[in-house]
Structure 1
Amino acid sequence: MKISVALCTYNGSHYLQEQLESIAQQTRLPDELVICDDQSTDNTIEIVKKFATKAHFPVRLIINEKNLGSTKNFEQAIGLCKGDIIALSDQDDVWNPKKLLIMEGIFLTKTNVGAVFTDAELVDKYLNPLGYTLWESIEFTKKEQKRFNNGGSVEVLLKHNVVTGATMAFRSEYRDFVLPISSSWIHDGWIALLIAFKADLVIVPEQLIKYRQHSAQQIGAGSKRDLLITIKERASKLIFGLKIDPNEYLNCFIQYREISAYTNRKLSSINNEKKSYLKSKVEHCYKRVEMPQKRIQRFPIVMNQLIKGNYHRYSYGIYSFVEDLLR
């Protein structure tokens, strides 16, 4: 089994060296490291080139002719990997030395597994622990973890994405299925959900990376943690008559309608239970988009979604219920 690491860089000179060293210190070295740089203007390229001369595995550096953005840059890096397993890497984290070894062991012993992802220790820019884990920050609960282990990955992922790309590896046999990545999605959410329709996803509770939080990063756990806080705050603020941009609901509907159309086009058959969950998610998103402006007309629709359990299954529970009731 060969392992590729797909790493995307953009002005990453502050933290890149530590990440590269952590990859070089893996007890199971990768068979290649594919780095796609998205038009960095600092000395990122020099750091990579210097590292490549000393690495004990091939390092391929691709410098983009134009800026692609994070999602499309990862799409490119994934497409260039030659390994049986593709492990995704951010430019500013630090890996546990056993990360690739543990992941490889799962893929070797469980042939039905399509992807693996782990928890992470959240740290500041100096690698000081923040006192909570990645899964705690995104509220990936013990109940949801148990559901994941019992084959309920699609249901969990349709409520919220709990897979962070920097902690994920997947079999390259699914690459043609997950590419191209929709521009309306972040790469990790798209890849994880699609693979979940075809194979098992395994969770690893160990914190196998130090997931750095800093002001310059494009996506971080802090922003995901803030998302839930924002949902709760928005629900309470609606009491005072504040308006919420209706495009937020529309974007959600477009995303999952796209996933539905994509799976119907790409898959000859879908597990009936998973198909039902996806259909219900799309319908729930549509209901939220089409809510009447008058609250009295909205009330029976909102109550129907609550009674069916759709707010708790596909949104943020009581907070989303209050949001729809009062907006």
Structure 2
Amino acid sequence: MKISVALCTYNGEKFLYEQIDSILNQTIKVDEIIVCDDCSSDNTLSILKKYEKVNPSIFKINQNEVNLKSNKNFEKAIGLCSGDYIFLSDQDDIWRNDKVEKTLAVFNQNPDAEGVFSNGVLINNKGEVIYKDNSLWDSFSFYESKIDKPIDLFDFLITNGNYLTGASLCIRKEVKIFCFPFMTMEDFLHDEWLASILTKKRTLFYTTEKLISYRLHDSQQLGIGDENKFSDYSNNVIRIQKTIIKTKKPKSYKDYKFLTNLYYSRYERYVKLKDQNIDSPIIFELINAVIEFYTKFDLEMKEKHPIRYFFRKRKDKMKGKRQIDAQFITPKTNR
């Protein structure tokens, strides 16, 4: 068994030592660290070369001729990895020393798993834990502990948005066969692309353990804000999610309006993704999935609130709002 790390760097001198040291200090040692540097202009390369000199059999440094940006840089790094398991790594986090061990344990317990991700703690520039009562998952509104099990990770992805942080993900080498090229557009990154594929295949698993310390930079804008406000926001989102994931039945017209608006916004997002990339079967599956959800709640709204539904539809038609393109309407399939 060979373990690879796909490490992408760009002007990461400030935190790179801590990240690399944490990768090298694993209870199960990694066999290779494939670095793709995206045209750094600081001391990142000199730091990497120091590690390469001490660990020549592990480090393989690739310098991009042009700036590829995050998506394509990770695509390149993953493609160059030769391991059976490929851990994705940012340049500014810190791995818990048993991250590799705990992640491989999930693979061993779930033979069908092609990807495994974990939770994490949030740290600041100094490496200090912040938002002690909240985790990395909380920052992406993935309140796993408060959601009824089992969780349909695909349904949750297309309704609530991405909850998978690439920095916490490990994939089997076989994923490389079907994950390239990465589909990209603004606000659609490699981790959401991989999540879309693996959750659709039902091969994405997770551990609730906090295996990374995810660093929030001064310049980062995750919208977490004050911890008390964060907690209030969390409670509001959880209430909404219970409706979305079908543990709470929608009743009012307001509930149905919220749900149909949500699924239509997802539909528009995936259509935009299709328009900006080469056609891919997974994109059409994403589109068809959200249409299925949209249609379900649209029909329920028509049945339970017929008068308000009629006037809403008439208004939408006049303004050209919430119109599903006929090319995407297909017979219902089992997901």
TM-score normalised by length of structure 2: 0.70
Contact residue 151 and residue 200 of structure 1 kept, 8 A: no
The residue that corresponds to 1:244 in the other structure is: none
Task: Give the aligned residue type for 2:9.
Answer: T
2:110 maps to 1:107:
no
The residue that corresponds to 1:134 in the other structure is: 136
Runs (4+) of structure 1 moved beyond 4 Å? 143-147, 247-252, 256-261, 281-284, 299-305
Contact residue 271 and residue 287 of structure 2 kept, 8 A: no
CA distance in 2, matches of 1:255, 1:283: 21
Contact residue 71 and residue 183 of structure 1 kept, 8 A: yes
The residue that corresponds to 1:223 in the other structure is: 222
CA distance in 1, matches of 2:267, 2:155: 19
Task: Give the aligned residue type for 1:173.
Answer: E
2:302 maps to 1:280:
no
Task: Give the aligned residue type for 2:191.
Answer: D
The residue that corresponds to 1:238 in the other structure is: none
CA distance in 2, matches of 1:282, 1:261: 22
CA distance in 1, matches of 2:295, 2:156: 17
CA distance in 2, matches of 1:57, 1:278: 47
Change over 3 Å in CA distance of 1:281–1:191 after alignment to 2: farther
CA distance in 2, matches of 1:197, 1:154: 6
SS of the equivalent of 2:222 reads: helix
CA distance in 2, matches of 1:30, 1:263: 34
CA distance in 2, matches of 1:30, 1:156: 32
Q: Kindly name which structure, 1 or 2, has the bigger radius of gyration based on alpha carbons.
A: 2
Contact residue 145 and residue 203 of structure 1 kept, 8 A: no
Deviation at residue 121 of structure 1 after TM alignment: 0.3
SS of the equivalent of 1:140 reads: coil
Deviation at residue 197 of structure 1 after TM alignment: 1.9
Change over 3 Å in CA distance of 1:260–1:111 after alignment to 2: farther
The residue that corresponds to 2:6 in the other structure is: 6
Task: Give the aligned residue type for 1:298.
Answer: D
Deviation at residue 142 of structure 1 after TM alignment: 3.1
2:270 maps to 1:255:
no
- Output aligned runs, 1:298-317, within 5 Å: 298=316
Contact residue 94 and residue 212 of structure 2 kept, 8 A: yes
Contact residue 256 and residue 282 of structure 1 kept, 8 A: no
Q: Deviations over 1:119-162 (max 9, x none)?
A: 11001110111122111111112377545xx3611101112111
- Output aligned runs, 1:69-84, within 5 Å: 69-84=69-84
Contact residue 3 and residue 85 of structure 2 kept, 8 A: yes
Task: Give the aligned residue type for 1:172.
Answer: K
CA distance in 1, matches of 2:6, 2:289: 31
Task: Give the aligned residue type for 1:52.
Answer: E
Contact residue 115 and residue 171 of structure 1 kept, 8 A: yes
Which is further off, 249-258 or 96-105? 249-258
Contact residue 138 and residue 225 of structure 1 kept, 8 A: no
CA distance in 1, matches of 2:165, 2:283: 26
SS of the equivalent of 2:5 reads: strand
SS of the equivalent of 1:277 reads: helix
CA distance in 2, matches of 1:112, 1:93: 28
Contact residue 33 and residue 59 of structure 1 kept, 8 A: yes
Deviation at residue 263 of structure 1 after TM alignment: 2.4
The residue that corresponds to 2:299 in the other structure is: none
Which is further off, 80-89 or 197-206? 197-206
CA distance in 1, matches of 2:223, 2:81: 28
Task: Give the aligned residue type for 1:6.
Answer: A
Q: Which runs of 5+ in 2 are unaligned?
A: 238-264, 297-311, 325-335
Task: Give the aligned residue type for 2:211.
Answer: L
Deviation at residue 62 of structure 1 after TM alignment: 0.2
The residue that corresponds to 1:172 in the other structure is: 173
CA distance in 2, matches of 1:95, 1:9: 16
Deviation at residue 206 of structure 1 after TM alignment: 1.0
Deviation at residue 169 of structure 1 after TM alignment: 0.6
The residue that corresponds to 2:119 in the other structure is: 119
Q: Which runs of 5+ in 1 are unaligned?
A: 233-246, 285-293, 306-327
Aligned residues: 267
